[in-house]
Structure 1
Protein backbone atom coordinates (compact mmCIF):
# COMPACT_ATOMS: atom_id res chain seq x y z
CA UNK A 1 0.00 0.00 0.00
CA UNK A 2 1.46 3.34 -1.02
CA UNK A 3 1.40 6.46 1.12
CA UNK A 4 -0.51 9.31 -0.47
CA UNK A 5 -2.94 7.08 -2.34
CA UNK A 6 -6.64 6.98 -1.70
CA UNK A 7 -6.25 3.65 0.05
CA UNK A 8 -3.76 5.10 2.50
CA UNK A 9 -6.10 7.99 3.24
CA UNK A 10 -8.97 5.58 3.89
CA UNK A 11 -7.52 4.30 7.16
CA UNK A 12 -9.08 7.00 9.36
CA UNK A 13 -7.45 6.41 12.75
CA UNK A 14 -3.87 5.89 11.56
CA UNK A 15 -4.11 8.76 9.06
CA UNK A 16 -4.70 11.17 11.95
CA UNK A 17 -1.04 10.73 12.86
CA UNK A 18 0.30 10.98 9.31
CA UNK A 19 1.78 7.50 9.58
CA UNK A 20 2.73 4.88 7.07
CA UNK A 21 0.25 2.04 7.33
CA UNK A 22 0.96 -1.62 7.85
CA UNK A 23 0.69 -3.74 4.69
CA UNK A 24 -2.54 -5.40 3.59
CA UNK A 25 -5.03 -6.54 6.17
CA UNK A 26 -2.61 -5.73 9.01
CA UNK A 27 -3.50 -2.09 8.35
CA UNK A 28 -6.94 -2.88 9.78
CA UNK A 29 -5.44 -4.02 13.08
CA UNK A 30 -3.22 -0.93 13.22
CA UNK A 31 -6.16 1.34 12.54
CA UNK A 32 -8.30 -0.33 15.20
CA UNK A 33 -5.55 0.16 17.80
CA UNK A 34 -5.02 3.76 16.72
CA UNK A 35 -8.61 4.69 17.59
CA UNK A 36 -7.17 5.48 21.04
CA UNK A 37 -6.69 9.02 22.26
CA UNK A 38 -2.95 9.64 22.43
CA UNK A 39 -1.46 11.64 25.28
CA UNK A 40 0.57 14.24 23.38
CA UNK A 41 -1.51 15.29 20.42
CA UNK A 42 -4.71 14.18 22.14
CA UNK A 43 -7.09 13.55 19.25
CA UNK A 44 -10.44 12.11 20.36
CA UNK A 45 -10.91 8.44 21.16
CA UNK A 46 -12.85 7.25 18.12
CA UNK A 47 -14.63 4.60 20.17
CA UNK A 48 -15.66 7.01 22.92
CA UNK A 49 -19.18 7.61 21.61
CA UNK A 50 -21.56 5.58 19.51
CA UNK A 51 -21.64 8.22 16.76
CA UNK A 52 -17.85 8.47 16.42
CA UNK A 53 -17.48 4.69 16.65
CA UNK A 54 -20.03 4.18 13.89
CA UNK A 55 -18.36 6.76 11.67
CA UNK A 56 -15.02 5.02 12.14
CA UNK A 57 -16.58 1.58 11.59
CA UNK A 58 -18.25 2.66 8.34
CA UNK A 59 -14.98 3.98 6.93
CA UNK A 60 -12.75 1.18 8.11
CA UNK A 61 -14.99 -1.69 6.99
CA UNK A 62 -15.32 -0.12 3.54
CA UNK A 63 -11.53 0.12 3.36
CA UNK A 64 -11.14 -3.44 4.62
CA UNK A 65 -13.44 -4.77 1.92
CA UNK A 66 -11.50 -2.85 -0.74
CA UNK A 67 -8.08 -4.26 0.19
CA UNK A 68 -8.91 -7.64 1.74
CA UNK A 69 -6.42 -10.28 0.63
CA UNK A 70 -7.83 -13.21 2.59
CA UNK A 71 -11.51 -13.20 1.70
CA UNK A 72 -12.54 -12.38 5.27
CA UNK A 73 -13.95 -8.87 4.90
CA UNK A 74 -17.68 -8.36 4.93
CA UNK A 75 -20.28 -5.74 5.72
CA UNK A 76 -21.08 -5.73 9.43
CA UNK A 77 -24.26 -4.62 11.25
CA UNK A 78 -24.62 -1.17 12.74
CA UNK A 79 -23.02 -0.82 16.12
CA UNK A 80 -25.07 -0.90 19.27
CA UNK A 81 -23.90 0.69 22.50
CA UNK A 82 -23.03 -2.79 23.78
CA UNK A 83 -20.98 -3.40 20.62
CA UNK A 84 -19.11 -0.14 21.14
CA UNK A 85 -18.24 -1.01 24.73
CA UNK A 86 -17.19 -4.53 23.74
CA UNK A 87 -14.92 -3.20 20.98
CA UNK A 88 -13.29 -0.71 23.36
CA UNK A 89 -12.63 -3.49 25.88
CA UNK A 90 -11.31 -5.79 23.16
CA UNK A 91 -9.02 -3.01 21.93
CA UNK A 92 -7.47 -2.72 25.37
CA UNK A 93 -6.93 -6.46 25.72
CA UNK A 94 -5.47 -6.72 22.22
CA UNK A 95 -3.19 -3.76 22.94
CA UNK A 96 -1.86 -5.44 26.05
CA UNK A 97 -1.55 -8.79 24.32
CA UNK A 98 0.55 -7.36 21.48
CA UNK A 99 2.65 -4.80 23.34
CA UNK A 100 2.77 -6.03 26.93
CA UNK A 101 1.02 -3.05 28.47
CA UNK A 102 -2.46 -1.65 28.51
CA UNK A 103 -3.28 1.72 27.00
CA UNK A 104 -6.31 2.26 29.23
CA UNK A 105 -5.68 3.22 32.84
CA UNK A 106 -9.07 1.75 33.74
CA UNK A 107 -8.41 -1.69 32.26
CA UNK A 108 -9.64 -4.40 34.60
CA UNK A 109 -7.47 -7.27 35.70
CA UNK A 110 -9.98 -9.58 34.04
CA UNK A 111 -9.13 -7.94 30.75
CA UNK A 112 -5.57 -9.20 31.03
CA UNK A 113 -6.50 -12.82 30.49
CA UNK A 114 -5.62 -14.51 27.24
CA UNK A 115 -8.01 -13.73 24.43
CA UNK A 116 -9.84 -16.87 23.33
CA UNK A 117 -11.82 -16.99 20.11
CA UNK A 118 -12.78 -19.92 17.93
CA UNK A 119 -11.97 -19.57 14.25
CA UNK A 120 -13.27 -22.05 11.69
CA UNK A 121 -11.02 -24.64 10.09
CA UNK A 122 -11.62 -25.03 6.37
CA UNK A 123 -10.52 -27.69 3.91
CA UNK A 124 -10.12 -27.08 0.18
CA UNK A 125 -7.90 -28.07 -2.72
CA UNK A 126 -5.55 -25.32 -1.50
CA UNK A 127 -5.16 -27.02 1.86
CA UNK A 128 -6.38 -26.50 5.41
CA UNK A 129 -7.04 -22.93 6.43
CA UNK A 130 -8.58 -20.75 9.10
CA UNK A 131 -11.46 -18.32 8.82
CA UNK A 132 -13.05 -15.93 11.31
CA UNK A 133 -16.24 -17.03 13.03
CA UNK A 134 -18.85 -15.38 15.21
CA UNK A 135 -21.89 -13.17 14.85
CA UNK A 136 -21.82 -9.44 14.17
CA UNK A 137 -18.86 -7.62 15.66
CA UNK A 138 -17.56 -10.79 17.32
CA UNK A 139 -16.69 -11.84 13.77
CA UNK A 140 -14.69 -8.61 13.39
CA UNK A 141 -12.77 -9.31 16.59
CA UNK A 142 -11.96 -12.85 15.50
CA UNK A 143 -10.81 -11.53 12.12
CA UNK A 144 -8.42 -9.07 13.80
CA UNK A 145 -6.83 -11.87 15.80
CA UNK A 146 -6.47 -14.08 12.73
CA UNK A 147 -4.90 -11.19 10.80
CA UNK A 148 -2.36 -10.85 13.63
CA UNK A 149 -1.77 -14.60 13.47
CA UNK A 150 -1.20 -14.41 9.73
CA UNK A 151 1.17 -11.48 10.23
CA UNK A 152 3.07 -13.49 12.82
CA UNK A 153 3.49 -16.38 10.38
CA UNK A 154 4.67 -14.00 7.66
CA UNK A 155 7.08 -12.25 10.03
CA UNK A 156 5.51 -8.79 9.66
CA UNK A 157 3.59 -8.55 12.94
CA UNK A 158 6.85 -7.85 14.82
CA UNK A 159 7.16 -4.64 12.82
CA UNK A 160 3.94 -3.25 14.25
CA UNK A 161 4.89 -1.39 17.43
CA UNK A 162 3.55 0.93 20.07
CA UNK A 163 5.50 4.17 20.49
CA UNK A 164 8.07 3.94 23.28
CA UNK A 165 7.15 7.35 24.71
CA UNK A 166 5.62 7.28 28.20
CA UNK A 167 2.88 9.64 27.03
CA UNK A 168 2.18 8.10 23.63
CA UNK A 169 0.86 4.72 22.54
CA UNK A 170 0.41 5.40 18.83
CA UNK A 171 0.83 2.21 16.83
CA UNK A 172 3.22 2.45 13.89
CA UNK A 173 4.65 0.06 11.33
CA UNK A 174 8.45 -0.08 11.42
CA UNK A 175 9.89 -0.15 7.91
CA UNK A 176 13.51 0.30 8.96
CA UNK A 177 15.90 -2.32 7.59
CA UNK A 178 16.81 -3.67 11.01
CA UNK A 179 13.37 -3.16 12.62
CA UNK A 180 14.91 -0.83 15.21
CA UNK A 181 12.48 2.12 15.33
CA UNK A 182 10.94 2.88 18.73
CA UNK A 183 9.13 6.21 18.21
CA UNK A 184 6.04 6.80 16.08
CA UNK A 185 7.51 10.24 15.34
CA UNK A 186 11.21 10.79 15.98
CA UNK A 187 10.88 14.58 15.79
CA UNK A 188 8.13 14.66 18.41
CA UNK A 189 8.41 11.70 20.79
CA UNK A 190 12.08 10.96 20.15
CA UNK A 191 13.16 14.55 20.60
CA UNK A 192 11.07 14.93 23.74
CA UNK A 193 12.71 11.84 25.25
CA UNK A 194 16.19 13.11 24.36
CA UNK A 195 15.51 16.50 25.96
CA UNK A 196 14.18 14.85 29.11
CA UNK A 197 17.21 12.55 29.33
CA UNK A 198 19.55 15.53 28.86
CA UNK A 199 17.87 17.47 31.65
CA UNK A 200 18.03 14.47 33.98
CA UNK A 201 21.75 14.07 33.29
CA UNK A 202 22.36 17.78 33.83
CA UNK A 203 20.43 17.75 37.10
CA UNK A 204 22.48 14.82 38.41
CA UNK A 205 25.78 16.73 38.06
Structure 2
Protein backbone atom coordinates (compact mmCIF):
# COMPACT_ATOMS: atom_id res chain seq x y z
CA UNK A 1 0.00 0.00 0.00
CA UNK A 2 1.46 3.41 -0.93
CA UNK A 3 2.96 5.52 1.81
CA UNK A 4 0.38 7.67 3.60
CA UNK A 5 -2.58 6.56 1.46
CA UNK A 6 -4.24 3.58 3.05
CA UNK A 7 -7.71 2.88 4.27
CA UNK A 8 -6.72 0.16 6.74
CA UNK A 9 -3.25 0.83 8.04
CA UNK A 10 -1.80 -0.26 11.33
CA UNK A 11 -2.95 2.64 13.46
CA UNK A 12 -3.84 0.72 16.64
CA UNK A 13 -6.56 2.94 18.14
CA UNK A 14 -8.43 3.83 14.94
CA UNK A 15 -8.46 0.42 13.28
CA UNK A 16 -10.00 -1.24 16.35
CA UNK A 17 -13.14 0.65 15.29
CA UNK A 18 -12.83 -0.67 11.72
CA UNK A 19 -12.44 2.84 10.36
CA UNK A 20 -10.82 4.33 7.31
CA UNK A 21 -7.81 6.31 8.51
CA UNK A 22 -6.85 9.89 7.74
CA UNK A 23 -4.09 10.33 5.15
CA UNK A 24 -0.42 10.61 6.01
CA UNK A 25 0.65 12.09 9.32
CA UNK A 26 -2.91 13.20 10.06
CA UNK A 27 -3.54 9.53 10.85
CA UNK A 28 -1.38 10.02 13.94
CA UNK A 29 -3.70 12.73 15.26
CA UNK A 30 -6.77 10.62 14.50
CA UNK A 31 -5.28 7.62 16.26
CA UNK A 32 -4.31 9.69 19.28
CA UNK A 33 -7.88 10.98 19.62
CA UNK A 34 -9.29 7.47 19.15
CA UNK A 35 -7.47 6.21 22.24
CA UNK A 36 -10.73 7.12 24.02
CA UNK A 37 -13.31 4.56 25.03
CA UNK A 38 -16.48 4.82 22.92
CA UNK A 39 -19.91 4.56 24.50
CA UNK A 40 -21.41 1.56 22.69
CA UNK A 41 -18.58 -0.78 21.76
CA UNK A 42 -16.63 0.45 24.79
CA UNK A 43 -13.11 -0.82 24.19
CA UNK A 44 -10.71 0.38 26.90
CA UNK A 45 -9.29 3.89 27.04
CA UNK A 46 -5.75 3.27 25.83
CA UNK A 47 -4.36 6.11 27.94
CA UNK A 48 -6.09 5.00 31.15
CA UNK A 49 -3.04 3.24 32.61
CA UNK A 50 0.68 3.66 32.15
CA UNK A 51 1.02 0.11 30.81
CA UNK A 52 -1.71 0.49 28.17
CA UNK A 53 -0.47 3.97 27.22
CA UNK A 54 3.05 2.63 26.72
CA UNK A 55 1.81 -0.25 24.59
CA UNK A 56 -0.17 2.15 22.41
CA UNK A 57 2.75 4.59 22.19
CA UNK A 58 5.16 1.87 21.08
CA UNK A 59 2.82 0.72 18.33
CA UNK A 60 1.78 4.16 17.14
CA UNK A 61 5.31 5.55 16.91
CA UNK A 62 6.35 2.49 14.89
CA UNK A 63 3.47 3.13 12.49
CA UNK A 64 4.24 6.85 12.36
CA UNK A 65 7.85 6.20 11.43
CA UNK A 66 6.72 3.82 8.66
CA UNK A 67 4.50 6.38 6.89
CA UNK A 68 6.03 9.75 7.83
CA UNK A 69 6.79 11.91 4.80
CA UNK A 70 7.74 15.03 6.74
CA UNK A 71 10.80 13.67 8.51
CA UNK A 72 9.24 14.37 11.91
CA UNK A 73 8.71 10.87 13.27
CA UNK A 74 11.16 9.39 15.74
CA UNK A 75 11.37 6.87 18.54
CA UNK A 76 10.56 8.59 21.81
CA UNK A 77 11.49 7.87 25.44
CA UNK A 78 9.40 5.63 27.65
CA UNK A 79 6.40 7.25 29.25
CA UNK A 80 6.28 8.33 32.86
CA UNK A 81 3.03 8.75 34.76
CA UNK A 82 3.35 12.51 34.31
CA UNK A 83 3.73 11.99 30.56
CA UNK A 84 0.58 9.87 30.48
CA UNK A 85 -1.39 12.56 32.30
CA UNK A 86 -0.04 15.19 29.93
CA UNK A 87 -1.18 13.16 26.93
CA UNK A 88 -4.67 12.82 28.39
CA UNK A 89 -4.69 16.59 28.85
CA UNK A 90 -3.69 17.40 25.28
CA UNK A 91 -6.23 14.86 24.02
CA UNK A 92 -8.98 16.70 25.90
CA UNK A 93 -7.81 20.04 24.57
CA UNK A 94 -7.72 18.76 20.99
CA UNK A 95 -11.30 17.51 21.27
CA UNK A 96 -12.33 20.94 22.51
CA UNK A 97 -10.35 22.81 19.86
CA UNK A 98 -11.14 20.62 16.85
CA UNK A 99 -14.73 19.63 17.55
CA UNK A 100 -16.03 22.25 19.98
CA UNK A 101 -16.92 19.86 22.76
CA UNK A 102 -15.13 18.24 25.64
CA UNK A 103 -14.55 14.52 25.77
CA UNK A 104 -13.97 14.44 29.51
CA UNK A 105 -15.02 16.46 32.52
CA UNK A 106 -11.41 17.57 33.06
CA UNK A 107 -11.10 19.36 29.74
CA UNK A 108 -12.38 22.74 30.88
CA UNK A 109 -10.14 22.66 33.94
CA UNK A 110 -7.10 21.73 31.85
CA UNK A 111 -7.94 24.45 29.36
CA UNK A 112 -7.35 27.11 31.99
CA UNK A 113 -3.73 25.96 32.19
CA UNK A 114 -3.25 25.49 28.50
CA UNK A 115 0.45 24.78 27.90
CA UNK A 116 2.43 26.53 25.20
CA UNK A 117 4.26 24.67 22.46
CA UNK A 118 7.37 25.88 20.71
CA UNK A 119 8.06 24.51 17.23
CA UNK A 120 11.38 25.40 15.65
CA UNK A 121 11.65 27.37 12.41
CA UNK A 122 14.43 26.41 10.00
CA UNK A 123 15.59 27.49 6.56
CA UNK A 124 15.57 24.67 4.02
CA UNK A 125 16.04 24.43 0.25
CA UNK A 126 12.27 24.72 -0.15
CA UNK A 127 11.93 27.81 2.02
CA UNK A 128 11.06 28.28 5.67
CA UNK A 129 10.04 25.15 7.55
CA UNK A 130 8.35 24.62 10.90
CA UNK A 131 9.33 21.48 12.79
CA UNK A 132 8.40 19.97 16.16
CA UNK A 133 10.74 20.73 19.01
CA UNK A 134 11.02 19.87 22.69
CA UNK A 135 12.27 17.08 24.88
CA UNK A 136 10.66 13.65 25.22
CA UNK A 137 6.90 13.61 24.89
CA UNK A 138 6.73 17.38 24.59
CA UNK A 139 8.11 16.80 21.09
CA UNK A 140 5.26 14.37 20.36
CA UNK A 141 2.65 16.86 21.56
CA UNK A 142 4.17 19.64 19.47
CA UNK A 143 4.15 17.36 16.42
CA UNK A 144 0.44 16.64 16.90
CA UNK A 145 -0.37 20.35 16.83
CA UNK A 146 1.85 21.05 13.83
CA UNK A 147 0.22 18.19 11.91
CA UNK A 148 -3.19 19.69 12.68
CA UNK A 149 -1.96 23.10 11.56
CA UNK A 150 -0.66 21.70 8.29
CA UNK A 151 -3.95 19.86 7.74
CA UNK A 152 -5.79 23.11 8.36
CA UNK A 153 -3.69 24.93 5.75
CA UNK A 154 -4.22 22.11 3.24
CA UNK A 155 -7.98 22.02 3.86
CA UNK A 156 -8.06 18.37 4.98
CA UNK A 157 -8.38 18.88 8.73
CA UNK A 158 -12.06 19.75 8.28
CA UNK A 159 -12.64 16.20 7.07
CA UNK A 160 -11.62 14.78 10.42
CA UNK A 161 -14.75 14.69 12.56
CA UNK A 162 -16.04 13.42 15.86
CA UNK A 163 -19.13 11.19 15.60
CA UNK A 164 -22.35 13.16 16.06
CA UNK A 165 -23.84 10.52 18.38
CA UNK A 166 -24.37 11.74 21.95
CA UNK A 167 -22.75 8.56 23.27
CA UNK A 168 -19.85 8.36 20.84
CA UNK A 169 -16.80 10.56 20.23
CA UNK A 170 -15.00 8.27 17.78
CA UNK A 171 -13.00 10.33 15.28
CA UNK A 172 -13.40 9.44 11.61
CA UNK A 173 -12.05 10.84 8.36
CA UNK A 174 -14.90 11.88 6.06
CA UNK A 175 -14.13 10.87 2.48
CA UNK A 176 -17.58 11.78 1.10
CA UNK A 177 -17.49 14.10 -1.92
CA UNK A 178 -19.34 16.90 -0.14
CA UNK A 179 -17.83 16.28 3.31
CA UNK A 180 -21.30 15.57 4.72
CA UNK A 181 -20.61 12.59 7.00
CA UNK A 182 -21.72 12.89 10.62
CA UNK A 183 -21.53 9.31 12.01
CA UNK A 184 -18.45 7.17 12.47
CA UNK A 185 -20.70 4.18 11.68
CA UNK A 186 -24.01 4.85 9.94
CA UNK A 187 -25.35 1.37 10.74
CA UNK A 188 -24.65 1.76 14.46
CA UNK A 189 -24.70 5.42 15.49
CA UNK A 190 -26.81 6.67 12.60
CA UNK A 191 -29.42 3.95 13.02
CA UNK A 192 -29.55 4.52 16.79
CA UNK A 193 -30.19 8.24 16.23
CA UNK A 194 -32.94 7.51 13.69
CA UNK A 195 -34.66 5.10 16.08
CA UNK A 196 -34.48 7.64 18.91
CA UNK A 197 -35.88 10.40 16.67
CA UNK A 198 -38.73 8.11 15.55
CA UNK A 199 -39.63 7.33 19.15
CA UNK A 200 -39.62 11.01 20.07
CA UNK A 201 -41.90 11.85 17.13
CA UNK A 202 -44.23 8.99 18.07
CA UNK A 203 -44.41 10.18 21.67
CA UNK A 204 -45.56 13.65 20.63
CA UNK A 205 -48.33 12.37 18.34
State the TM-score bracket (shorter-chain normalisation). over 0.9
Quote how far apart the aligned CAs of 1:114 are: 5.7
Structure 1 distance, partners of 2:114, 2:87, is 16
Question: Which residue of structure 2 aligns with residue 137 of structure 1?
Answer: 137
Quote how far apart the aligned CAs of 1:116 are: 3.0
Quote how far apart the aligned CAs of 1:13 are: 0.1
Question: Which residue of structure 2 aligns with residue 201 of structure 1?
Answer: 201
Q: Is the 8 A contact 2:89 2:110 kept in 1?
A: no
Structure 2 distance, partners of 1:113, 1:67, is 33
Question: Which residue of structure 2 aligns with residue 126 of structure 1?
Answer: 126
Quote how far apart the aligned CAs of 1:109 are: 2.8
**Aligned length in residues:** 201
Q: Is the 8 A contact 1:99 1:161 kept in 2?
A: yes
Q: 1:110 to 1:50 in 2, by over 3 A?
A: closer
Q: Is the 8 A contact 1:162 1:172 kept in 2?
A: yes
- Are 1:184 and 2:190 an aligned pair? no
Question: Which residue of structure 1 aligns with residue 162 of structure 2?
Answer: 162
Question: Which residue of structure 1 aligns with residue 116 of structure 2?
Answer: 116
Quote how far apart the aligned CAs of 1:124 are: 1.7
Quote how far apart the aligned CAs of 1:117 are: 1.1
Gaps of 5+ in 2: none
Q: Is the 8 A contact 2:93 2:110 kept in 1?
A: no
The aligned runs of 1:1-205 (5 Å cut-off) are 1-4=5-8, 8=9, 10-111=10-111, 116-205=116-205
Cα RMSD of the aligned pairs, angstroms, is 1.2
Q: 1:112 to 1:203 in 2, by over 3 A?
A: farther
Structure 2 distance, partners of 1:159, 1:113, is 28
- Please report the TM-score for the alignment, with normalisation by the length of structure 2: 0.95
Q: Secondary structure at the match of 1:123?
A: strand
- Please report the TM-score for the alignment, with normalisation by the length of structure 1: 0.95
Structure 2 distance, partners of 1:106, 1:2, is 34
Gaps of 5+ in 1: none
